[in-house]
Structure formats: C-alpha cells, structure tokens
Structure 1
Amino acid sequence: MGDMGMEVSEANANDVSIVALNGRLDAASAKSVLAGIKELVKRNRFNIILDMSGVEFIDSAGVGILLASYRAVDAKGGALKICAIQNQVKSIFSLTRLSEFFEIFSDRASAEKDFD
C-alpha cells in the first residue's frame, strides 16, 4: 500500500491489523489508502487500527476516505479505530466531527488494548 505523498505500512497483532500512515492524506494519496483498507476487509481483517502519528496533513479527500474506510469496515461488523493524531490533524477532526464516527486513542497500545 502506498503513494508518493503517503507511506503505508501494515502489521498484525492477533486479530487486529495496524495500518501506519506516514505523510499527507490528501487527494493524491487517499484512493490508495482506501484500496488498502478494502483489501484488508477482503482478507477478512475487520478489526483495524489506523496509526496516524505520521500524518502531518489531511484535506477534504482524506476526510472522505476515512469515512469511506469506516463504512467499509462497519458494514462487515468490524471496527476501525484511530490513534496518535497530530495536533494539526486533530483540529480537522474537530471541525469535521470525524471524532463522532471514530474511537480515537492517544497511542497504538491503547487502541490495541481496547480490542481485547
């Protein structure tokens, strides 16, 4: 998974997939991020943590992709949780009310523990 403006890495911890994003979540990278989430769903990986500690920027396309990712996982009865949001991205989450859709954790360990 990845795009020139976004590096995406995936790891698994038991039945939880951890997707770490690094870069800009914008129109150029958003579709590849959604494709990666949908690929996890196809592989029956429905418990997903998005580690956004490396995301320094998000635009409206990024917001839309996060919502589409949420819907794709939720439709299969799974959960998409977000952790480690940087302050500048956190303000976008507040403005767009994304925090009403997602469970947001301060760090990856807290998000993983919540799946237990």
Structure 2
Amino acid sequence: MASLLAMMLSGCATQGAPGHASGAAAPLPARPADPLAAFAARAQPGQVEDVSPQPGAAPVTVRLVRAYQAGSGRECRELTVGYRASRPALYCEDPVAGWSVARALLRGGAVGRP
C-alpha cells in the first residue's frame, strides 16, 4: 500500500511558473541547452555517460536510473550525477519548455527509495 501511495505521489513538478494550458501543444525544442537535459532526453535506463554540465567544465559521470510517467502525465527521468559522491537529479518533459529540471514531490525524492 505504501509503495502504491509513493508511486502516486512521485509525480514531478517543474520549478518556476506553471505551464500554460492550451488545446494545441507547442513543438518541443530540438536540442536542450542543458547537457543533463539532453542526456535525460536520449538515454535508456541504466545508461552511463560522461557529460560536461556546462561548456568548459570537467565532465561528470551521469547515469539514468529510471524513466517513468509522472502523475501529471509527463515523462520523467531520474539521474544520478557524479561517481563517488553522486547526487540525484530529476528531469521531466514539458510541452512548452522541453526537458527541464524538476523537483520530486516527495521529501528525499524518488532516488534512494527502499
């Protein structure tokens, strides 16, 4: 029961202003400007890649932990960023902004669940 509740609440919400609801969906950007968002958009679960989070920055190891449909209906991707001292990251596909960083709705996020 707790797992079901956690799944229902583990949808993702974008940071910032809410999106605009309209009948026609805007086209998604072809290539996300954020390299982590670009990785989230193309990677498969379990895939590992070295990604430079910013131009000129040293690459970090990024792994796609899982892909799932959030309660909002959006596709979301859990990432771990870094190798030894990794941190979780969550990206969701937005009909207006494309793939963008999101926050988990549950405290502690979905990463690290039992």
Could you say which structure has the higher helix fraction? Answer: 1
Pairwise same-fold verdict (TM > 0.5)? no
Larger Rg: 2
TM-score, normalisation: structure 2: 0.26
Larger relative contact order (Cα-Cα within 8 Å, sequence gap ≥ 6): 2
